[in-house]
A and B are shown apart, each in its own frame.
Chain A
């Protein structure tokens, strides 16, 4: 297996393949930066160009493009508070406050460097998973997924900020919104008000783009300032780059943990990156020595969300390669690429076509490295944009946001959802209600409902005592009780001194 691993690298480094990968990286770079315009749509557009390519070249091109969107999507999150991809929303939470403090350079250094590390850890996990892909995917079914979504939901408490009650109310509201659409079991439309658009529930891309990006644009508009506020010290913009990298190295354990969260959630079909980022963020806050800084510009929050984003792509490749079952929309398009290039996902990818599988690992590693180096080179002009006065930037950003949302499903309703979410987001910021529990509950609520019903129809109540489920109950208990125990211990310590 090891010789194949390295011969795969040789294949990737062949001039044509490498050139195609770099072309892919360049396209992915721009797509990642444009808010809303997602990697999956671009992949579909690029697919026809691979018709005549051999497999390794086709995947160097496509994968090179796709994995980079997650990296550069973080840049706009940090600089403008507008997620470049729906999966970069959590980066906004701490990256953007850092920018407003004039520490954009440090935040970008941290998020980009942790992205690269996350991609590498994810790629490593993918390579390591090769021998066990099939048993692992087969061991996880609806009951396991259901308990995992519950674990995700417990992070609502720690993601609520100072007022847990407000967080719970927002989460509850999110769960209600999650019930919109065709119910997964009986096929009955709920709260759709005769609108077919609502049958599939609220689309997550315009929701995230509006809730975070749109809300921020409106804020800029209302404040009539530049994003970096009154920070006159412009040179400071990129100065902190090296600090950001050092910060990331310093928090290596956090990088590793967040990456593994990304891989783990990436494996679960239907869960996707919009969930992984917040769970990684939640666990970072729970484990942090300075949880109170989260949401106000904690470098740990930035590092965790940077790492998870890129690791989850490798995670979602695992079931795609092993079974031809895509773990995300992006991998669904990549699956078509398998067919176009004449590859059969499944056992072949782990035996006769093992070199192609390993070439994907290498592309992930190399593409992200290239993208981050390029980002570092382009940072100075990018950070300068944040000093443009608000009213000038706003029209441009609004157009980009609207276009980005529209590409989600090519319905005008997407734009309506985006603006509604933006208005809701502004209100939430203004009256200090946390947005994250709301979003998390919308995404997880629908999945939890589906897996709960499915578990029950498949196994009745016996699903609760499956061995892996029992283990996950224990995890759930630990995760849920940890903040309480911590608080209790802290109070006791205070009391005894």
Chain B
């Protein structure tokens, strides 16, 4: 082995290593934090799930428009774990200067917070709310060739099997509340890996039905594999005008009706963009304005239309009011949430 040769190699290796380290550390430039402007700063936009899927798509779709509005660099970061709660708990502990924001699974995180599940180490009212990007109606579906042709058929039947990914998931909470409110005597089958696997089980007839949000369920409906029986809302959905809202059906009593109404409020949370508790007022205001303007951009609207990811926007104040309402849910709904999160 010749010496100069090996010295060259050392140099190459050291240079390469330095480059990698530099690339790794380059992300958190910026600083500041007291001024209202985000100009030149780097904002991390956390997606609490792995790449692919609705939350990821929304975040990546909005990020460039947010970037334009703020004059900042917006980096989308996927932090998967604990059904989307790992990232939100981390966010809550982060520096509240507005440079770290997240898109949140409103139903999952909101429900966990109400139920005081150990997975949610925060109170819903503590978070800083920037705005809600989307919220779509949730649907209750069966297979297209199922014996259950209407929601009344389901209510009249003795027992019904609903597929779900597991306790605490939105599809479980919906099914659980529906079962409680209508006294359906339903059996919730848990353990599906995701809504896709659950969807196949419904198509196959292994389970009788499932619940899920409009965007993820509409495909199987349009394909002719599934049939929507009810919508978790007070009004019909303009895209499915013939499907009855679940509030149109007769509840056994007022309490049951309240239970479902509270559930619908929770579903309304949809896909909010949040920041850690205690972001300074002017910084939060800057973020809110930026998101307001980004969402109003016709280019973003067109993009959303094209991707089938509808923007259903609530600004920061409206979102805060909704959170307030969810937070004041009646006791028996809180109790039901606790049950739905413990899987009992």
Contacts and interface: CB of A to CB of B under 8 A. Distances in A.
A216 to B, nearest CB: 17
B101 to A, nearest CB: 15
Interface string B1-39: 000001001100100110011001000000000000000
B58 to A, nearest CB: 11
A411 B81 CA distance: 9
Interface in B116-132: 118-119
B57 A332 contact: no
A388 B13 contact: yes
Contacts of B166: 182, 184-185, 187
Contact of B78 (A41, A270, A454): A41
Interface stretch (B151-159, B191-199, B270-278, B287-295): B191-199
A197 B10 contact: no
A185 B342 CA distance: 11
A141 B306 CA distance: 33
A150 interface: no
Nearest to B23: A403
A185 B219 CA distance: 27
B193 A450 contact: yes
B201 A141 contact: yes
Contacts of A329: 50-52
Given A184-B166, A450-B191, A346 B81 contact: no
Contact of A40 (B16, B50, B81, B85): B50
Contact of A399 (B21, B50, B167, B192): B21
Contacts of A129: none
A303 interface: no
A41 B52 CA distance: 9
Contacts of B309: 339
B193 A270 contact: yes
Interface residues of A, number: 59
A196 interface: yes
Interface string A304-335: 00000000000000000001111001001111
Q: How large is the interface on B (under 10, 10 to 19, 20 to 34, 35 or more residues)?
A: 35 or more
Given A332-B51, A332-B53, A187 B341 contact: yes
A40 B168 contact: no
Interface in A346-375: 346-347
A332 B52 contact: yes
A186 B86 contact: no
A340 interface: yes
B80 interface: yes
Interface string A459-482: 100000000000000000000000
B57 A336 contact: yes
Interface in A405-422: 409-411
A372 B308 CA distance: 37
B324 interface: no
Interface of A: 40-41, 43-44, 47-48, 51, 137-138, 141-142, 182, 184-189, 196-197, 199-200, 269-270, 323-326, 329, 332-336, 339-340, 342, 344-347, 388-389, 392-393, 395-396, 399-400, 403, 409-411, 450, 453-454, 457-459
27 contacts: A41-B51, A41-B78, A48-B64, A138-B203, A141-B204, A185-B166, A185-B190, A196-B81, A196-B119, A197-B86, A199-B81, A199-B86, A269-B194, A323-B200, A332-B51, A332-B52, A336-B52, A339-B57, A339-B308, A346-B223, A388-B13, A410-B78, A410-B79, A411-B79, A411-B86, A454-B189, A458-B207
